């Protein structure tokens, strides 16, 4: 009985194991099973029939064919080491059995040599098989370790992705919280500034009210007695001067005229001082009004017409064109209507004054015009804002004084026609009282444009 069928089964089993590691066992499973059946068939053929020599040769050839298969089939190349170990034994066993069965005399004469060759090939096969097994185990361990590392890397990559996602979510949450805190801080600072301004204005109002009360009484005496003195001098000139001798009449007339002129100047500057005191009271007065939903379009239209008709009542020759462009979707905003009306009235009065002065110096063809626009805009941070533009084609503002126009008591109007408190008061009301912005754009001799930007507050524009 030959060992080759059993060895063939062993080799095919090793093929199956290597193919399984390479992921090819399903493709070759059918052929491996056929190999098992052939080996089993050779075994039964060897033990069941009398043709022992034929079965023996066939078993050797089949085993040799199985062993050399990795050299011809690429998908079995991982088993080349096993084939390299068993080929010498397969060849030596085949030669030994052929010589023993068909050439007994030659075999008997060289039996020791032939058996030594077979034993050596068997030792060679066993040694290489053990080495190959050890290497296979090392490779398997390395493969498992590499797979474990890959699995660990995959898990780490998945954890990294999850951590990055969590970091992004946390960062977005922190960014949102930071923005909310910054917005709350900005609102807090704005409220704080408004409260400080209100307290300052209240304190200043109390102080100036006391000062004005003390100044107003002597100032009234100065104005009243100057007017009365002028009237008395007029009576003196009309009734008593003619009764004086001619040699002193002319001299007395000159003295009376000088005194009258001086009293007129005193009266003029007294009234100027009275206007300044009233302007100071208006500028420093702390508003008692609260913010409420305010229709900006209606407010601007009302104070534009109030300014125009007020100037017409003072000067019948006054005339100017008015253009309005009100955004119908503007809606209402939170504001103090009385204070905002004072600002608009001051800007309209300045614009009408500017176009009137320009008309005096120009010939026919100039049409004095004051234009008022309102519109919704977005701030840099995306907040809803309302913009009011007051523009005139008057004398404009000289560049050299542009930085001073918001200073208290600074005015570009002639002496006696302005207190220099209108724009200063307007700037404080817009910036400190409403948290808005007041800007000016101008070209001397061409135009002046004042731009008011106000937040809508809790009442959103429509």
Q: How many domains does the chain have?
A: 2
| pTM, rounded to two decimals | 0.43
> 457 with 335: CB under 8 angstroms?
yes
Same domain, 308 and 453: yes
Q: Examine residue 188 and state whether it is found in any structural domain, yes or no.
A: no
State the Cα–Cα distance between residues 299 and 336, nearest whole angstrom.
11
Whether pLDDT at 409 is above 60:
no
| Range from 49-53, 211-215, 252-256, 438-442 that averages highest in pLDDT | 438-442
Q: Examine residue 100 and state whether it is found in any structural domain, yes or no.
A: yes
Strands 321-325 and 292-295: unpaired
Q: Examine residue 182 and state whether it is found in any structural domain, yes or no.
A: no
What pLDDT score was predicted for residue 419? 44
Q: Examine residue 104 and state whether it is found in any structural domain, yes or no.
A: yes
What pLDDT score was predicted for residue 197? 66
| pLDDT mean over 38-45 | 80
Note down the domain range covering 34.
4-157
Residue 442: strand pairing partners = 448
The pLDDT tens digits of the residues spanning 443-458 come to: 888 889 999 999 887 5
Per-residue pLDDT band for 387 (boundaries 50, 70, 90) equals very high
What pLDDT score was predicted for residue 63? 81
Same domain, 151 and 294: no
Q: Examine residue 267 and state whether it is found in any structural domain, yes or no.
A: no
Q: Angle 4-22/52-68 helices, nearest 10 degrees?
A: 20
> 343 with 426: CB under 8 angstroms?
yes
The pLDDT tens digits of the residues spanning 50-103 come to: 556 677 777 888 888 888 888 888 888 777 877 777 788 888 877 887 787 778
In the listed set 157, 184, 215, which residue is the last one of a domain according to the structure? 157
Per-residue pLDDT band for 386 (boundaries 50, 70, 90) equals very high
Strands 369-378 and 321-325: parallel
C-beta neighbour count of 83 within 10 angstroms: 21
State the Cα–Cα distance between residues 318 and 446, nearest whole angstrom.
20
List the single range of 267-276, 318-327, 375-384, 442-451 with lowest mean pLDDT: 267-276
Q: Examine residue 101 and state whether it is found in any structural domain, yes or no.
A: yes
> 293 with 334: CB under 8 angstroms?
yes
The pLDDT tens digits of the residues spanning 256-311 come to: 888 888 888 888 777 767 766 665 555 455 455 578 888 999 899 988 988 888 78
| pLDDT mean over 360-389 | 86
Per-residue pLDDT band for 212 (boundaries 50, 70, 90) equals low
Q: What share of the chain has pLDDT > 70, as a percent?
A: 84
What pLDDT score was predicted for residue 444? 85
The pLDDT tens digits of the residues spanning 123-150 come to: 887 887 788 778 778 877 888 888 888 8
What pLDDT score was predicted for residue 420? 43
Q: Examine residue 190 and state whether it is found in any structural domain, yes or no.
A: no
> 392 with 448: CB under 8 angstroms?
yes
List the single range of 4-8, 156-160, 283-287 with lowest mean pLDDT: 283-287
Structure tokens, 403: 């930085």
C-beta neighbour count of 453 within 10 angstroms: 18
In the listed set 92, 123, 157, which residue is the last one of a domain according to the structure? 157
In the listed set 112, 142, 157, which residue is the last one of a domain according to the structure? 157
| pLDDT mean over 338-358 | 88
Average pLDDT, whole number, for the chain? 80
List the single range of 85-89, 246-250, 382-386 with lowest mean pLDDT: 246-250
| pLDDT mean over 431-444 | 86
Whether pLDDT at 164 is above 60:
yes
What pLDDT score was predicted for residue 245? 75
User: Does 202 or 247 have the greater pLDDT score?
Assistant: 247
Across the beta sheet with 447-455, the strand order is 321-325, 369-378, 384-392, 447-455, 437-443
State the Cα–Cα distance between residues 350 and 413, nearest whole angstrom.
10
Structure tokens, 57: 């040769």
What pLDDT score was predicted for residue 453? 92
Structure tokens, 136: 């296979």
Q: Examine residue 29 and state whether it is found in any structural domain, yes or no.
A: yes
Per-residue pLDDT band for 191 (boundaries 50, 70, 90) equals confident
> 12 with 32: CB under 8 angstroms?
yes
CATH number for the domain harbouring residue 447? 3.30.565.10
- What is the C-alpha radius of gyration for the chain, rounded to an integer number of angstroms? 57
Per-residue pLDDT band for 428 (boundaries 50, 70, 90) equals confident
Q: Match 């290497």 to its residue by tokens.
A: 135
> 446 with 396: CB under 8 angstroms?
yes
State the Cα–Cα distance between residues 387 and 326, nearest whole angstrom.
10
3-state secondary structure the chain: CCCHHHHHHHHHHHHHHHHHHHCCHHHHHHHHHHHHHHHHHHHHHHHHCCCHHHHHHHHHHHHHHHHHHHHCCHHHHHHHHHHHHHHHHHHHHHHHHHHHHHCHHHHHHCHHHHHHHHHHHHHHHHHHHHHHHHHHHHHHHHHHHHHHHHHHHHHHHHHHHHHHHHHHHHHHHHHHHHHHHHHHHHHHHHHHHHHHHHHHHHHHHHHHHHHHHHHHHHHHHHHHHHHHHHHHHHHHHHHHHHHCCHHHHHHHHHHHHHHHHHHHHHHHHHHHHHHHHHHHHHHHCCCCCCCEEEEHHHHHHHHHHHHHHHHHHHCCCCCCEEEEECCCCCCEEEECHHHHHHHHHHHHHHHHHHHHHHHHHCCCCCCCEEEEEEEEEECCCCCEEEEEEEEECCCCCCHHHHHHCCCCCCCCCCCCCCCCCHHHHHHHHHHHHCCCEEEEEEECCCEEEEEEEEECCCCCCC
| Range from 59-68, 145-154, 195-204, 211-220 that averages highest in pLDDT | 145-154
Within 8 A by CB and 6+ apart from 126, the residues are 85
What pLDDT score was predicted for residue 289? 59
């Amino acid at each position: 009985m030959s060992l080759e069928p059993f060895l063939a089964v062993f080799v095919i089993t090793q093929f199956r194991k290597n193919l399984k590691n390479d992921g090819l066992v399903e493709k070759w499973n059918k052929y491996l099973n056929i190999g098992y059946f052939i080996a089993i068939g050779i075994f039964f053929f060897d033990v069941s029939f009398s043709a022992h020599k034929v079965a023996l040769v066939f078993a050797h050839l089949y085993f040799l064919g199985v062993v050399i298969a990795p050299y011809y089939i690429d998908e079995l190349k991982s088993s080349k080491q096993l084939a390299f170990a068993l080929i010498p034994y397969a060849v030596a066993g085949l030669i030994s059995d052929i010589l023993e069965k068909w050439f007994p005399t030659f075999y008997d004469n060289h039996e020791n040599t032939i058996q030594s060759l077979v034993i050596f090939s068997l030792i060679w096969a066993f040694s290489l098989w053990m080495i190959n097994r050890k290497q296979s185990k090392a490779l398997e361990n390395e493969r498992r370790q590499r797979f474990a590392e890959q699995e660990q890397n995959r898990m780490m990559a998945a954890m990294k992705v999850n951590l990055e996602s969590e970091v992004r979510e946390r960062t977005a949450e922190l960014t949102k919280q930071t923005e909310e805190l910054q917005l709350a801080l900005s609102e807090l600072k704005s409220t704080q500034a408004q409260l400080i301004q209100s307290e300052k204005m209240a304190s200043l109002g109390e102080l100036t009210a006391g000062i004005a009360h003390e100044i107003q009484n002597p100032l009234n005496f100065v104005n009243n007695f100057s007017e009365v003195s002028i009237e008395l001098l007029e009576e003196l000139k009309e009734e008593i001067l003619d009764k004086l001798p001619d040699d002193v009449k002319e001299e007395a007339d000159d003295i009376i005229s000088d005194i009258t002129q001086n009293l007129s100047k005193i009266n003029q500057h007294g009234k100027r001082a009275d206007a300044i005191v009233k302007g100071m009271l208006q500028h420093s007065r702390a508003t008692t009004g609260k913010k409420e939903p305010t229709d900006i379009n209606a407010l601007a239209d009302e104070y534009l017409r109030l300014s125009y008709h007020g100037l017409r009542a003072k000067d019948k020759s006054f005339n100017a064109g008015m253009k309005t462009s009100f955004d119908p979707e503007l809606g209402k905003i939170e504001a103090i209507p009385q204070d905002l009306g004072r600002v608009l009235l001051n800007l309209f009065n300045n614009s009408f004054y500017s176009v009137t002065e320009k008309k005096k110096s120009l010939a026919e063809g100039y049409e004095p015009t004051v234009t008022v626009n309102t519109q919704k805009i977005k701030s840099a941070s995306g907040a809803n804002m309302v913009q009011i533009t007051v523009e005139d084609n008057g004398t404009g503002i000289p560049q050299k004084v542009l930085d001073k126009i918001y200073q208290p008591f600074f005015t570009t109007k002639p002496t006696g026609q302005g207190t220099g408190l209108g724009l200063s008061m307007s700037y404080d009301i817009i910036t400190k009282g409403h948290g808005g912005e007041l800007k000016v754009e101008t070209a001397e001799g061409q135009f002046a444009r004042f731009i008011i930007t106000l937040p809508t507050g809790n009442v959103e524009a429509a």
